[in-house]
A and B are shown apart, each in its own frame.
Chain A
Amino acid sequence: MPEMLDMPLRPASPATSPQVGRSEKVRILSVVVEDSPNTLTKLAGAIRRRGFHVRGISVGPGRQPGLSRITLEVDHGHAEADQVRKQIERLIEVHEVQDLTDDDVHTRELVVAKVDTSELARLLQHGAKVISSAPHRTTIEFSGSRNEVFDFVEELARHGIVDVVRSGPVVMRRGA
C-alpha cells in the first residue's frame, strides 16, 4: 500500500490534464531515432538543457533495423510549445519527429499488478486479464488510454494491491 500512495495518480503539474492531447503545456511526440548507446543521453540532455520535463516515455524497436521509436510526453515549461519538437529535431541521432499533441490519436498504457486473489472478480469486470495465478496472489494486466489506466489504478487501490508497475505511453494517429 505505501508504494501506491507514493505513486501520483494524476500527472504532477496542475496544468496537465490527464486527457492526453488536451493539455496546454505537454507535447506528445513520436520520435524515430538511431538505436545507439548515445541516443538516449543526448535526447534527455537536450530536453533537460532547455528546461523541459519528461512526463512519460516509452522506447521500443522501430520498423527498420537500427532504428527505435520513442514516444515522449514532454512539459515545455516557459518555452514556446513548438520548441520541444525543434530542439529534438536538431539532434543528428533523431531521424523523424511527429508532434501528435493536437491529433486524434490512440494512446495505450500498460499496467501489470499483483493482487489478492479474493479481490479479483471486480478487477476482471473492469477489463483486466489474468497473467498468472497462485493460491492467494494473482497477477493481472490492463491496458487502455491514460484515463482508463487512471481509473483502473484507482480501482486497484481499493482492492489491496501487492505490487503494481506501469508503462509509459504508446501513441498512434487514428484513421487509415
Chain B
Amino acid sequence: MVLEALEREGVEYIFGYPGGANLPLYQHLPEHPRLKHILVRHEQGAAHMADGYARASGRPGVVFATSGPGALNLVTGLCTAYMDSVPMIAITGQVVSTQVGRDAFQESDVIGATSSVTKHSYLVTRIDQLPRVIHEAFHIATTGRPGPVLIDICKDVQQAEAERRADGFQIPGYRLNGHADAGQAKQAAEALSGAERPVILAGHGVILSKGEPQLRELAEAAATPVGTTLLGIGAFPVKHPLSLHMTGFMGTGWCLKAVQNADVLMMVGMRVDDRVTAKLAEFAPKVTTFIHVDIDGSEMGKNVRPHIELVADAKAAMAAMLPHLGPVRHGRGSWLAQVDAWREEHPLRYKHSNGRLQPQDVLIDMYRRANSEAIVVADVGQNQIWAALWWNYDRPGLFINSGGAGTMGFALPAAIGAKFGRPDVPVWCVAGEGGFVMTAQELSVAVEHQLDVKIVLLNNFSLGMVRQFQDDFYGGVRSQVDLTHMPDFVKLSEAYGMPALRVEKFEDIGPSLDAAQRTKGPFLIDFRIDPEANVYPIVPLGKSLNEFWEMPSDG
C-alpha cells in the first residue's frame, strides 16, 4: 500500500535502512522494481542523501527508517532539511498500534522528537488513513515553503490490505501564499526605482521559486546591485557587473559596504538570520525602506521589521514588481560607481601556495575544470565558506551546503544523493577531515554504486573554523581542535575499495584532479592544506557588518 502510493507520487529513489518495525515494507519492496532502494550505512546518511537528491534534482527525497533508534538517527538530517526548506518525505516504522505507549521494543515518540524539525508529521494507526496521508505529505513537502514531512506508520498498518481510494486532500489548515499583492508590488517597485542607494539581497527562496530570470531583470532594470545569502548562491551570477557576491558575516567586503550604506534594501526569499545581519541593531543602519519578500508570512518582522512586505512566491513577487519600475532616480550612476570602488578596494584575497598548500588554489583549479556545470557539495566550516566564495557560480543548483543547521558530516552523503539526482552532472564533494569522518561510512554506498563522486578533502588536521574563532575571538586558546590522530585517508579509501591520492604540493593539484576526473567511480584526494589558513573576510562575533576583518596584508 505504501509502496504503491510512492510509485503514484513518481518516486524514483528511496534512501533507507530496514529494521523490525518496517520489515513489511521491505518484504514487498522487490515487487516494485521502479522504486530503487539505496541501502545506507547509517540513517543520518539516508536523510542527507535524500536532502542532496532533492536539492540537486528539485524532486522530493524519500527516506525509510525503522522505529526507535532508526527514526531518531534521522533527526539531524530532518533538521538540516527543515532549516534550509528542502522537500523530503521520511517514512518511519512504528511498533504495532496496540503496542504504542507501552514502551515496546524499539518504540520511541518519533512525532514528539521530530515535530520541531519537520514541516508536518503524521502518525498512521489505521490503514484507511494511509493513501490520503501519503498524498498530502508530498503536497505539503513540495509546495509553499518546502520542507520535510514525516510519516510514522505502525507496523500492523504496513501489513494491512485495503482498497485503493481516491486521493483527496483534507488539509484546510494548510494555507499557501503564492500570489503577490499588486498594490504592495507597485509600492516595492517604486521604492526601488526611487532609491538613491538601493541593494537587493537574494536568498534560497529565489532559487526554490526559479526566480533567477526575474531577479536579473529586476536588478538590471532598476540598476540595483545584488548580493546573495549562502543558500542564495547561484540566484545571481557572481561575474555580473551588479553582483555583490555573498553577504553576511563572512560575505565580501564590497557587499557589506553596500548593505551598510544602502537607503533601500530589498530582501527576497530569505529569513534575514543572524549570520546575515551580524549585530542586528546595527544592520543596514542607513536604510529608510526595508522591502521583504518571502512566501512564509512569519518571516515578516521576525528579525527585521519591513516597511513594505510581500508575502508571496519570490518569482511571482518580482514579476509583479517589474511593470511598475519607474525610471531610476538621478544619481544612481554614482552609487554604482561607489560599489565598484568598494569592489576594487576590498577584493577577495588569499595567500598563494608557497611551500604550504592553500585551499583556494585547490578550489580555483577545480572551478577552472568545472566549466559552470559541476555541482559542489560542501560540508560545514572553513571548507564551506571557501567553496562558497572561490567559485564564480553563475546559475542555481551548483552549490549545495547545509546553511541554516550547519551540519558537519553533510557533504559526503548529500553528494551521493546529488549524484543519484543528477547522474548527468559531475559532482564534487568538498569537506574538511573533521566533518568527513562523521559520515565516512557512506563511502561504501559510493563504491557499491560506483558513483562518480569526487571527494576533495581539505585536510588541515584541525577543526579549522573553530580554531580560527578560538584564535581570534576566544583569547587565542586552542582547545580541543587538534585532529592529528586521523586515519590515513588514502588507506581508508582503499579499504573501502576506491582509489585515492595524497597531495601536499601546489604542483600536484592539477595532476591529482586530472586523475580524479579520468577515473570512473568515486575518488578521494587528501589535500594536506596549510593548517593556519583562515576564512576572510569575517565579522567578529557580536559586531556589526561594518567591522569586517580582511586578510592581514602581511600574508
Given the interface pairs A38-B111, A41-B112, the reply to whether A80 lies near B140 with Cβ below 8 Å is no
**Is the pair A83, B302 in contact by a Cβ cutoff of 8 Å?**
yes
**Is the pair B302, A45 in contact by a Cβ cutoff of 8 Å?**
no
Instruction: Provide the residues of chain A in CB contact with B120, threshold 8 Å.
Output: 92
B312 → A minimal CB distance (Å)? 15
**Is the pair A37, B123 in contact by a Cβ cutoff of 8 Å?**
yes
A67 → B minimal CB distance (Å)? 9
Taking CB atoms and an 8 Å cut-off, the chain B residues in 97-145 that contact chain A are 111-112, 115-116, 119-121, 123, 140
Partner of B115, one of A34, A42, A83, A89: A42
A6 within 8 A of B: no
B301 within 8 A of A: yes
Instruction: Provide the residues of chain A in CB contact with B301, threshold 8 Å.
Output: 80, 82-83
B305 within 8 A of A: yes
Given the interface pairs A38-B111, A41-B115, A89-B298, the reply to whether A80 lies near B305 with Cβ below 8 Å is yes
> What is the bound-complex CA distance between A45 and B172, given in angstroms?
21
> What is the bound-complex CA distance between A92 and B169, given in angstroms?
12
Instruction: Provide the residues of chain A in CB contact with B302, threshold 8 Å.
Output: 79-80, 83, 86
Instruction: Provide the residues of chain A in CB contact with B112, threshold 8 Å.
Output: 41
Partner of A92, one of B116, B140, B296: B140
**Is the pair B123, A91 in contact by a Cβ cutoff of 8 Å?**
no
A35 within 8 A of B: no
**What is the 8 Å Cβ interface bit string for chain A, positions 131-166, against chain B (1 contact, 0 not)?**
000000000000000000000000000000000000
Given the interface pairs A37-B123, A41-B115, A49-B116, the reply to whether A92 lies near B298 with Cβ below 8 Å is no
A79 (CB) vs chain B CBs: closest residue: B302
B297 within 8 A of A: yes
Taking CB atoms and an 8 Å cut-off, the chain B residues in 142-181 that contact chain A are 171-175
Instruction: Provide the residues of chain B in CB contact with A92, threshold 8 Å.
Output: 119-120, 140, 171, 173-174
| Residue in A37, A92, A93, A94 whose Cβ sees the most chain B Cβ within 10 Å | A92
B175 (CB) vs chain A CBs: closest residue: A89
> What is the bound-complex CA distance between A89 and B311, given in angstroms?
14
A residues contacting the other copy or chain, number (CB 8 A) = 21
A48 (CB) vs chain B CBs: closest residue: B116
**Is the pair A87, B116 in contact by a Cβ cutoff of 8 Å?**
no
B120 → A minimal CB distance (Å)? 5
**Is the pair B111, A34 in contact by a Cβ cutoff of 8 Å?**
no
A99 → B minimal CB distance (Å)? 13
B120 (CB) vs chain A CBs: closest residue: A92
Instruction: Provide the residues of chain A in CB contact with B305, threshold 8 Å.
Output: 80
**Is the pair B115, A90 in contact by a Cβ cutoff of 8 Å?**
no
B residues contacting the other copy or chain, number (CB 8 A) = 21
A95 → B minimal CB distance (Å)? 5
Taking CB atoms and an 8 Å cut-off, the chain B residues in 425-477 that contact chain A are none
**Is the pair B116, A94 in contact by a Cβ cutoff of 8 Å?**
no
Instruction: Provide the residues of chain A in CB contact with B140, threshold 8 Å.
Output: 92
**Is the pair B115, A45 in contact by a Cβ cutoff of 8 Å?**
yes
Partner of A89, one of B111, B123, B297: B297
**What is the 8 Å Cβ interface bit string for chain A, positions 70-89, against chain B (1 contact, 0 not)?**
00000000011011001101
**Is the pair B298, A34 in contact by a Cβ cutoff of 8 Å?**
no
Instruction: Provide the residues of chain B in CB contact with A93, threshold 8 Å.
Output: 173
Partner of A87, one of B121, B173, B298: B298
Instruction: Provide the residues of chain B in CB contact with A37, threshold 8 Å.
Output: 123
> What is the bound-complex CA distance between A45 and B113, given in angstroms?
10
Instruction: Provide the residues of chain B in CB contact with A91, threshold 8 Å.
Output: 173
B136 (CB) vs chain A CBs: closest residue: A92
> What is the bound-complex CA distance between A37 and B122, given in angstroms?
10
Instruction: Provide the residues of chain B in CB contact with A49, threshold 8 Å.
Output: 116
**Is the pair B298, A83 in contact by a Cβ cutoff of 8 Å?**
yes
Taking CB atoms and an 8 Å cut-off, the chain A residues in 32-51 that contact chain B are 33-34, 37-38, 41-42, 45, 49
> What is the bound-complex CA distance between A33 and B120, given in angstroms?
15
| Residue in B120, B140, B173, B301 whose Cβ sees the most chain A Cβ within 10 Å | B173
A66 (CB) vs chain B CBs: closest residue: B170
> What is the bound-complex CA distance between A33 and B296, given in angstroms?
20
**Is the pair B173, A94 in contact by a Cβ cutoff of 8 Å?**
yes
> What is the bound-complex CA distance between A145 and B140, given in angstroms?
41
> What is the bound-complex CA distance between A49 and B296, given in angstroms?
17
> What is the bound-complex CA distance between A20 and B121, given in angstroms?
35
B79 → A minimal CB distance (Å)? 12
> What is the bound-complex CA distance between A75 and B66, given in angstroms?
39
**Is the pair B111, A90 in contact by a Cβ cutoff of 8 Å?**
no
**Is the pair A86, B115 in contact by a Cβ cutoff of 8 Å?**
no
Instruction: Provide the residues of chain B in CB contact with A34, threshold 8 Å.
Output: 173
B119 → A minimal CB distance (Å)? 8
Instruction: Provide the residues of chain B in CB contact with A87, threshold 8 Å.
Output: 298
**Is the pair A38, B121 in contact by a Cβ cutoff of 8 Å?**
yes
Taking CB atoms and an 8 Å cut-off, the chain B residues in 284-315 that contact chain A are 296-298, 300-302, 305
Partner of B296, one of A38, A41, A90: A90
Instruction: Provide the residues of chain A in CB contact with B123, threshold 8 Å.
Output: 37-38
Partner of B297, one of A42, A80, A86: A86
A93 (CB) vs chain B CBs: closest residue: B173
Instruction: Provide the residues of chain A in CB contact with B296, threshold 8 Å.
Output: 90
Given the interface pairs A38-B121, A38-B123, A45-B115, the reply to whether A90 lies near B298 with Cβ below 8 Å is yes
Instruction: Provide the residues of chain A in CB contact with B111, threshold 8 Å.
Output: 38, 41
| Residue in A79, A80, A83, A86 whose Cβ sees the most chain B Cβ within 10 Å | A86
B157 → A minimal CB distance (Å)? 15
A49 (CB) vs chain B CBs: closest residue: B116
> What is the bound-complex CA distance between A49 and B302, given in angstroms?
14
Partner of B116, one of A45, A82, A89, A90: A45
Instruction: Provide the residues of chain B in CB contact with A38, threshold 8 Å.
Output: 111, 115, 121, 123
Instruction: Provide the residues of chain A in CB contact with B115, threshold 8 Å.
Output: 38, 41-42, 45
| Residue in B111, B112, B115, B121 whose Cβ sees the most chain A Cβ within 10 Å | B115
Instruction: Provide the residues of chain A in CB contact with B116, threshold 8 Å.
Output: 45, 49
Taking CB atoms and an 8 Å cut-off, the chain A residues in 11-64 that contact chain B are 33-34, 37-38, 41-42, 45, 49
B321 → A minimal CB distance (Å)? 23
Instruction: Provide the residues of chain B in CB contact with A95, threshold 8 Å.
Output: 172-173
A86 (CB) vs chain B CBs: closest residue: B298
The 8 closest A-B pairs by CB, nearest first: A86-B298, A95-B173, A80-B301, A92-B120, A92-B173, A92-B174, A94-B173, A45-B115
Given contacts A89-B297, A92-B140, 15 further A-B contacts (CB under 8 A): A38-B111, A38-B121, A38-B123, A41-B115, A80-B302, A83-B298, A83-B302, A86-B298, A86-B302, A87-B298, A90-B298, A91-B173, A92-B120, A92-B174, A94-B173
* 11 chain-A/chain-B pairs, Cβ below 8 angstroms: A38-B111, A41-B112, A83-B298, A83-B302, A86-B302, A89-B298, A90-B298, A92-B140, A92-B171, A92-B173, A94-B173
